[in-house]
Amino acid sequence: MPTFSATHTSELRQEPRRIAFITYDGVKMLDITGPLQVFADANEILGFEAYTTTLASLYGGPVETDTGVALNTRRLAGVGLDDAGTLIACGGKGVHDACRDNRLVGAIRLAAQKCGRVGATCTGAFLLGASDLLDGRRSVTHWKDCDRLAEAYPQTQVDPDPIFIEDRGVWTSAGVTAGIDLALTMIERDHSRDVAMELARHLLVYVKRPGGQSQFSEALQQQTRTASGRFGALHLWMKDNLVADLRVEELAKRVGMSPRNFARIYADDTGQTPARAVEMMRIEAARIALEDPELTVKQVSVQCGFGSDERMRRSFIRQLGVSPQAYRNSFALSQ
């Protein structure tokens, strides 16, 4: 199993860290440009050249992306990675053909031995799997490809929920925008949370999401669960009115049904009770609010519709297996 060195602090690092993005024909443009922009803008925030970025491919030269735009790349073997460098495999529709290219897979293995950190955006995780870099580690990719990743590379433990995972120097991420979250957290590790937060504001990112957050918003999951789509408008209203009375009787009124008939049809249509749907929406809102250190746990419980911090604590324990305070200790942003 490959091992990767710990990252150096910015105070000890004088030379810029090289970030190399692995590309191939059919690579997804946004899988590259999202995290690429994060590292490029970090130099502006930090006021010095902390990172140099390189687009790499097996032989170098033009590589056609999924958008039809060709990117100029360097030969991967000549990029010059060292133990402070990062190798990132990008996803895209051509990734499975790339995985069957033994020369590319071998080049990735060799490059990974030289660098201190390896990562993947979206389906780029398949390239890491083909290079044996996921063996014995947890990983994630886009939710629709998680089963395929687990089947193709049974030596990795695929967790389909988080937006990104770091396991002993190997980073994998979910859908394309999760690559931005992954890059922000890498920069946080290299420098500080304050730098990462300033960079997130600079990029107009709504919130810097921790890796433990789910790929799915609860409102989106409710929409997906609704077989007929008949409760879509109700779910959006519930999300925007978490402090309202969301008992079955009140929800039934909003859709013009009797409470008994509503509860039965809702459960048949979504696979869960209205009460659990409400609880999960409130938990999701609370998870986001708990990342703000200026809000007390009690304030979060009230604004998310729990009414009391004890009621919120019981919901967190029941559904997440951790208390709100424990969640905050893991994911709260520094003041």
* Same-domain pairing of 82 and 169: yes
Going by C-beta distance under 8 Å and a sequence separation of 6 or more, which residues neighbour residue 259? 248, 249, 252
* Distance in angstroms between the alpha carbons of the first and the last residue of the chain: 39
C-alpha span between 208 and 200 (Å, rounded): 6
How far from 331 is each of 206, 287, 324, CA to CA, in Å? 16, 9, 10
Residues spanned by the domain of 275: 218-331
Spell out the per-residue pLDDT of the chain, length 335, in tens.
566 644 444 444 568 999 999 999 999 999 999 999 999 999 999 999 999 999 999 999 999 999 999 999 999 999 999 999 999 999 999 999 999 999 999 999 999 999 999 999 999 999 999 999 999 999 999 988 999 999 999 999 998 878 889 999 999 998 778 899 899 999 999 998 888 888 887 886 644 555 555 554 454 455 445 555 678 889 889 988 999 999 999 999 999 999 999 999 998 888 889 999 999 899 988 988 887 888 999 999 999 999 999 999 999 888 877 789 988 876 665 54
| Residue 146 CA: distances (Å) to CA of 61, 149, 161, 225, 270 | 31, 5, 9, 19, 23
Residues 268 and 183 in one domain: no
**Contact status, residue 54 vs residue 74, Cβ threshold 8 Å:** yes
Closest residue by Cα to residue 212 from 142, 137, 287:
287
Q: How far apart are CA 52 and CA 17, in angstroms?
A: 6
Domain boundary among 170, 202, 234: 202
Q: Are residues 30 and 133 in the same domain?
A: yes
CATH code: domain of residue 308 = 1.10.10.60
Q: What is the pLDDT of residue 84?
A: 95
Per the structure, the count of domains in the chain is: 2
316 belongs to a structural domain: yes
Q: Is residue 207 part of a domain?
A: no
CA distance 335 to 326: 17
In a domain, 115, yes or no: yes
Q: Which of 178, 202, 226 is the last residue of a domain?
A: 202
Predicted pLDDT at 221: 52
The secondary element (H helix, E strand) that includes residue 70 is strand 70-75
CA 299 from chain center: how many Å?
A: 27
Whether 184 and 244 map to the same domain: the answer is: no
Q: What is the CATH number of the domain that holds 25?
A: 3.40.50.880
Last residue of a domain, one of 146, 167, 202: 202
Residue 212 lies in a domain: no
Cβ neighbours around 306 below 10 Å, total: 25
User: What residues are paired with 187 via a beta bridge?
Assistant: none
Q: Does residue 324 form part of some domain?
A: yes
Residues 35 and 152 grouped into a single domain: yes
4 in a domain, yes or no?
A: no
DSSP string, 237-277: HHHH-TTS--SHHHHHHHTT--HHHHHHHHHHHHSS-HHHH
Same domain, 160 and 225: no
What's the pTM value of the predicted model, to 2 decimals? 0.67
Q: Does the residue 64 lie in any domain? A: yes
Cβ(319)–Cβ(279) under 8 Å?
Answer: yes
Token duo for residue 197 = 């937060």
Report pLDDT for 269: 86
Cα(165)–Cα(127) distance, integer angstroms: 16
